[in-house]
Structure formats: C-alpha cells, structure tokens
Chains A and B, each alone.
Chain A
Amino acid sequence: MPGQAQVRLETATAFCPCYRMAQITGRDIVDLFRLIALRLSEGRSELGALDGAIGDADHGNSMAEGFSAVVRATSAMTNAAPFELLMVAGRSFLSAVGATTGPLYASAMLAAGRDLEGKVTLEPADVVRLVPAFARGIAERGKARPGDKTMMDAWGPAARAATDALNAGLAPARCLSLAETAAREGCDATRAMVASIGRAARLGARSLGHVDPGAASAVIVIAALHEWLADHEAATAEGSG
C-alpha cells in the first residue's frame, strides 16, 4: 500500500538519526520504543472497540499510555545500554498501567533486560530474541496456557516462530516477519476460544467470536519490532553499499 510505505519512510527519518550503524545502541532502543508507542497510539481506537466487546474498552488506552510512559522515561537516557533501558521501560510501564496488562508487559521488558545484561550494543538477532524473552516474561507472570484466549496466544506462537527462524539461520528481519505472521494467526485463532483466565474470563462463553484485545495489541508490538528492524537493516545495507 502506498500509504504504508510513506509512513514507513517518515518513521525512518523521524525516529533514527543513527540508522546507518550496524550495531544497535541504546538510542536505537529508545527509537524502537517510540515506534511501538506510535503504532499502539494509531491502534488505540481499534483496540478499544475490540476490548469494548469483551472487556472495559480501555486496553488501547492502557497500551498506548504505557508505551508513552516508557518513551518519556527513557528518551533522556542518551548513554544508557539497551538492557538498562529495558529495565527502566519495564518499571515505568508498571507505574503507568494496572489491570493485567501492566504487570505482564513490565515482566516482559524486565525479562528481556535481564537476558541482555552487560551488553553495550546489540546485534540484529538480539532484537529477534526480544520476542521469546517478552513471551517468557509474560508467561512466567501470567501463567496463561495456549488456548486461554490471552495475549499469550499471540506471543507464544511468535516466540516459537522467531526462535525456529533464528535457529534455521534466516536473516533477522525475516525472522521477525515470520514471528509477526505467527502472532497474527494466533490472534485470529482467539476468536474461536472461550476466555478462561484474565478479565475476559468474566464473560466465559460470551467471549466466543471475539478476538482477544491483548492478543491484538501483541500483534501491533511484534509488527512494530519487525518494521523497525526491517528499516534498520535496509538503512544499514544502504550505508555499507
């Protein structure tokens, strides 16, 4: 879609002054947070409508405001390492968002931060590994199983797809493309599920036929990771060519 390509171009110029560096720095991670916040902000009303069907219609606001808080907390940390930024991001998300979303995404970012502890810069493959790290943090905190109609139904398949693709030696952006596809399929599948934990569990069988808003916002986050890394790789390739 031409419209989409245009947005992508603007994103690249607006968000990353250091696009031609192969290594991913703390600045890049803040840039990545900005892109996630932007995409969630764009999806705010769509997520709100999904959540209005089976929740309290605030999931879009919670996610967008949570990642805005992350950007506010990290944007001045110009010399911080990626892992430090992830830890600060987790804590600021936790202070901004309640419900289950707050602790789950906080745990996701803290888990990813711990995995990357000590690394001053990241490889593109480390960005791919954010997906399984987020999924692990969410799973440990929320204890949801596949089929419970939660965000794990998107994060779980995405994590497996990302890990399998990395192990198969695929290019990092391709790995995230496959993760995004798996997340979308997992999210679509929640339509046929009956919520058994989390807030939508309040509706039981009434939740049938509706996509889980947590799975839908997970797709947006994973798609933003993919978008950001694809742009980063493209810019890096141009720079080295």
Chain B
Amino acid sequence: MQRFLNNPDNLVDETVAGFVKAHRDLVHISPENPRVVVSNFAPRAGRVGIVTGGGSGHEPAFIGYTGRNLVDAVAVGEIFSSPTAKSFADAIKAADGGAGVAVLYGNYAGDNMNVKMAARMVAKEGIEVATVVANDDVCSAPPSERDRRRGVAGEIFMWKIGGAKAATGATLSEVQAAAQKAIDACRSVGVGLGPCTLPAVGHPNFQIEPGTMEVGIGHHGEPGTRVESLRTANEVADDMLKIVMDDHALPAGTEVAVLVSGLGATPVNELYVLYDRIETGLAAMGMKVHKAFVGNYFTSLEMVGATLTVMALDDDLKALLDMDCASPAL
C-alpha cells in the first residue's frame, strides 16, 4: 500500500500535532507531556476525571474521544504499543479535578502494567485512581475466562457511559461501577478480510489470503477462531451477530446499542450493508435497537474488515448513552 508518510519514527507525533490543530476547539496537547491529549473542558473541579490510553494506529481511538462529557485526557502510545506509565500518570494528573480519576482502558499486557504503575505514581500526590478494564472481544477467550478477553470497540461505550456518569457529579466509585456495567453489557467480534502493516516494519506480519476471511480477529491482527472462505455480506453479518448474541444471552425485548466499526480500509458503504442485515437479525431475535453507530470508530491501521459491538441497555445506561457530549469522534 502507498502511504502518506514522512519518517515512520515521527508518525505518532505528527498525527497528534495535526489532530490537536484540527480540533483545537475541543482538545490540546498537555504542556507537561507531548504524548498526552487533554480535553479543553478538563479538569472539572469536584468532578471525577476520565482517562484512557493505548497504542496509536486505531484513530479516531483513543484521542478522538477526548472532549466534553467524555474522556478528559488520553495517554498516547507508539503504533500498537502501550503508552508509558509516565504518560498515563500525566494524563491522570491533567484529568484530576479533586474527586479522583477513573482510568478506563483495554485488557492488554502493556496497558495493564503501565496503568498500574501510573496509579502508584499519582497516589503519592494524593490522586485516587479507579480502573475498569474492557474485555468485550468474545473470540479472544472462552466465557469462563472473561478476564483474559481483550478490549476492543466496546471501549467506546465504556468511555461514553463513564464520561456521562462523571458529568452527573457522581463519585469515583459510582463512575467506576457505571463504566464496569457498560463494558459488562458489551460483546464484540471482529472479522478481517485483509492484514495491516506497521509503517516501520514495511510488511504485514500476518496474512489473510485473498478469497478468505478471518473470523474473530483482534484489533492488532490477533488470530481469530476460524479462517474460511469469504462469504456474502449478509452471511458474514449473520455470523458476527450470532457470535455476539450467543455469548450475550439476552432476553427478548432487550433494548440495545449497536456499533459497527470499520477496521481502517473497508469502505463505509460496506459497513452500512452489514448494519442493514444486523438490525434485521436483531429484530428477528426480538431486540430493539435504541441507537446505532456505523463508521470508522476504532480502526487498526489499514486492516480490511469490521467489528460489531452490541451493548444491552437498561434505563440508566440509556440515559447516560443519550447524554449530550462533544468530541472529535463522537
């Protein structure tokens, strides 16, 4: 693939620089740390701060969800690589309004370690930290080992709910509980049709043969559960929905929020083709779609493919999901 690239070593810094210029009404770079993006509305005195972070290459995640009633500060890592503990610590400090900070992030080894060490660093300065670890990717581990599952696009719902809860003036433990409830209500699956290449590597380090697809693929090309012949969009949509809903086991009549995200190189019209079939399938199961999001919300460089996330809603989650917010991506 041909790329718009200067020097691969500067890619992350140049991405962040362009991002904060384009969205200067909402976000800025922390004066303390060039790898921390901060909401212009943060910190809010007496309100719980919301922090996330992760590797670059998933844009608009993670930085795109920085803003009002959403994420207050984001730690930015190298491509597909966890931010430093120092960046997480600086993001926590930037988000701290005196009522504690909730760090809502995905279940990856590097992020787990760096967030834990960051929490210890800021504890010395009297900042209380609560964490919620997203684990919505169904195919990354069996239901009995949910704590091993990775976090994927369900993180967006976790940030939305956590950010909205914090905006109500809730306490740190209430915000943590709401974000936990949100991610517990989410199930996601990814299907890959083509691999992605880390710019510094120059060749994909996994392959998806033409004519095949990988069902259950992760956000960095983690192997899926099945490699099989590419089928029609409707068959793929049915398969994705079945994987998600089998793991969910929701009673008929449940209201849901649905997120179909492209992985980077899939045209948006194809995402709508998938969504058309997915909503039909949900209706056939007796589910009611309260809100749908279709687009490139959480990508993996130029991977071809899509993820589906279904979040089960109750009245509380619905109110928080519907609360007004402003960020570059949502």
Interface residue ranges, A against B (CB under 8 Å):
52-58, 94-100, 102-104, 106, 141-142, 197-199, 201-206
For the complex, would chain A's binding face be called helix, strand, loop or mixed by DSSP majority? helix
Does B81 contact A104, Cβ atoms closer than 8 Å? Answer: no
Q: Nearest CB to that of B115 among chain A residues?
A: A103
Picked from B78, B84, B113, B223, the residue with its CB within 8 Å of the CB of A56 is B78
Contacts of B310 in A (CB 8 A): none
Knowing A142-B109, A203-B205, the reply to whether A98 touches B77 (Cβ < 8 A) is yes
A-B contact sample (17 more), CB < 8 A, given A102-B113, A197-B109: A52-B201, A52-B202, A56-B200, A58-B78, A94-B117, A98-B78, A99-B77, A99-B81, A100-B113, A103-B110, A103-B114, A103-B117, A106-B85, A202-B220, A202-B221, A202-B223, A204-B223
Q: Verify B222–A103 contact, CB threshold 8 A.
A: no
Cβ contact of B81, chosen from A52, A56, A141, A205, cutoff 8 A:
A56
For B80, B81, B116, B223, the residue with the greatest tally of chain A CB atoms inside 10 Å of its CB is: B81
The closest CB in chain A to the CB of B202 belongs to A52
For B, the interface residue count at a CB cutoff of 8 angstroms equals 29
Residue of A whose beta carbon sits closest to that of B117: A103
- Given A98-B83, A103-B117, A204-B223, A56–B110 Cβ distance below 8 Å? no
* A57-B198 contact, Cβ under 8 Å, with A98-B78, A99-B82: yes
Residues of chain A within 8 A (CB-CB) of B113 are: 100, 102-104, 141-142
Closest to A98 in B: B84
Q: Which residues of A contact B109 (CB under 8 A)?
A: 100, 142, 197-199, 201
Interface SS of chain B: loop
The distance in angstroms between the C-alpha atoms of A201 and B109, with both chains bound, is 10
A48 (CB) vs chain B CBs: closest residue: B200
Shortest A98–chain B CB gap in Å is 4
Whether the Cβ atoms of B79 and A100 lie closer than 8 Å is: no
- A204 neighbours in B (Cβ, 8 Å): 222-223
Q: Which of A57, A97, A198, A203 contacts B200 (CB 8 A)?
A: A57
Q: A94-B85, A96-B84 in contact; A56/B79 too (CB < 8 A)?
A: yes
